[in-house]
């Protein structure tokens, strides 16, 4: 896998008319090489026979033996940035070019690191901003990645079912959030893919509510947004539950969000842009008079990061392709009153899509 991914990167590097790409963001490094440590960088030269250099520090000497395949020439260095500069220096020497264009990740490299890199590199190396190369490739999952996301999703579903079976009414939002985290860990997850959101009643009107030390009352809606991390991959799902009979206004909002979610979900397939899929849900919510209460995008890619490419929003210019894994999560938030969000995690397939999570979306009443 690692060799194939390096090859894909080398192809993009060549198409962008770069000589090499420095990969310094650790999530990108992990995706590219399989390396899971906390310090490392890679340099990928353009073309099939380009450089595949990997640098890390002495703590990972044994680990790289297990994690890196033979595609990589690994070097132990005291400072990965300096080590990467040395690898690039080697490239310059080997090729005898008077000028080398090195792409770097301008979305992740700090200004300080960039300045250091400039000092460390030979004068003939030109640093070119080239963010998004790895992220673009990461947006299309291979079968191994899909299996990891599916497993994380199934684990998260099971944790949710167990937690909800213990009842919500009378427990604090924080207690339910902690229960979710502990149950996911107990079931074998590395942890949460993000701190769970548990938000009852009017608190649910905050899209990114922090769980409060406040007991959940009967007869209210509760937004629960959670995900598991397994083998490095994230899951992400939201359900809104009812702790008993709710008023007509809340029910109306729930039904609207569910309708918008199912309509947008039906539009997920290769072809339409993220913006077009977003518009399916947005138009329905607009038409119902709640347009201003759906302030976030419809969804986002999920993989090693819980928020990654592609975006399903007004800014989503890229057409969906098979292998994308995205959330579909419209919400309506009525300030001070109620909030509803329903979120599925979906793989785009050649034929359309496959919903990875398995929990029902009809309004579910719980204790
Ligand atoms: Zn979510
Ligand atoms: Zn999400």
Q: What is the mean pLDDT of residues 199-212?
A: 93
Distance between CA atoms of 234 and 174, rounded to whole angstroms? 21
209: closest CA among 252, 246, 240, 167?
A: 240
User: Ligand 1: distance of its center to the CA of 147 in Å?
Assistant: 19
User: Ligand 2: distance of its center to the CA of 278 in Å?
Assistant: 14
Give per-residue pLDDT as tens, 17-40. 999 999 999 999 999 999 999 999
Distance between CA atoms of 309 and 287, rounded to whole angstroms? 28
Name the β-bridge partners of 191. 229
Distance between CA atoms of 278 and 285, rounded to whole angstroms? 11
Which residues lie near ion ligand 1 (Cβ < 5 Å)?
A: 225, 236, 238, 343
Distance between CA atoms of 305 and 138, rounded to whole angstroms? 10
CB 11 within 8 A of CB 4: no
Q: Which ligand is nearest to the CA of 296?
A: 2
User: Ligand 1: distance of its center to the CA of 236 in Å?
Assistant: 5
Q: Which ligand is nearest to the CA of 226?
A: 1
Give per-residue pLDDT as tens, 317-336. 999 999 999 999 999 999 99
- For the entire predicted model, the pTM comes to 0.93
Q: What is the mean pLDDT of residues 91-107?
A: 84
SS3 of residue 229 by DSSP: strand
SS3 of residue 184 by DSSP: helix
User: Ligand 2: distance of its center to the CA of 72 in Å?
Assistant: 34
- Residue 51 confidence class, pLDDT cut points 50, 70, 90: confident
Report how far apart, in Å, the C-alpha atoms of 287 and of each of 283, 291, 300 are: 6, 7, 23
pLDDT over 90 for what percent of the chain? 87
260: closest CA among 355, 364, 340, 351?
A: 340
């Amino acid at each position: 896998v690692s060799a194939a991914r390096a090859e894909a990167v080398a192809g993009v590097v060549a198409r962008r008319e770069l000589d090499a790409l420095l990969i310094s963001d650790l999530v990108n490094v992990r995706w590219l090489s399989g390396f899971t440590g906390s310090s490392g960088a890679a340099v990928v030269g353009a073309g099939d026979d380009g450089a595949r250099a990997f640098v890390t520090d002495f703590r990972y000497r044994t680990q790289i033996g297990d994690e890196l395949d033979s595609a990589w020439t690994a070097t132990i260095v005291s400072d990965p940035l300096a080590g990467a500069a040395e690898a690039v220096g080697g490239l310059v020497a080997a090729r005898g070019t008077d000028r080398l264009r090195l792409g770097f990740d301008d979305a992740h490299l700090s200004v300080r690191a960039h300045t250091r890199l400039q000092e460390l590199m030979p004068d003939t190396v030109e640093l070119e901003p080239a963010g998004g190369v790895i992220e673009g490739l990461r947006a299309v999952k291979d079968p191994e990645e899909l299996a990891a996301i599916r497993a994380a999703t199934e684990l998260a579903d099971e944790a949710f079912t167990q937690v909800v079976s213990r009842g919500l009414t009378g427990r604090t939002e924080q207690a339910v959030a902690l229960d979710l985290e502990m149950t996911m860990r107990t079931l074998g997850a590395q942890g949460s893919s993000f701190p769970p959101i548990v938000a009852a009643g009017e608190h649910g009107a905050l899209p990114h509510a922090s769980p409060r030390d406040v007991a959940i009352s009967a007869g209210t809606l509760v937004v629960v947004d959670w995900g598991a991390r397994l083998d490095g991959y994230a899951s992400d799902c939201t359900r809104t539950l009812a702790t008993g009979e709710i008023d007509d206004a809340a029910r109306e909002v729930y039904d609207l969000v569910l309708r918008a979610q199912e309509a947008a979900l039906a539009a997920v397939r290769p072809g339409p842009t993220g913006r077009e899929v977003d518009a399916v849900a947005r138009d329905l919510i607009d038409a119902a008079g709640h347009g201003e209460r759906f302030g976030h995008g419809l969804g986002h890619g999920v993989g090693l990061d819980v928020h990654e490419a592609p975006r399903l929003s007004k800014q989503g210019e890229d057409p969906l392709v098979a292998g994308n894994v995205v959330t579909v999560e419209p919400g309506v938030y009525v300030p001070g009153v109620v909030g509803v969000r329903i979120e599925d995690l979906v793989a785009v397939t050649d034929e359309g899509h496959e919903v990875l999570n398995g929990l029902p979306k009809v309004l579910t009443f719980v204790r």
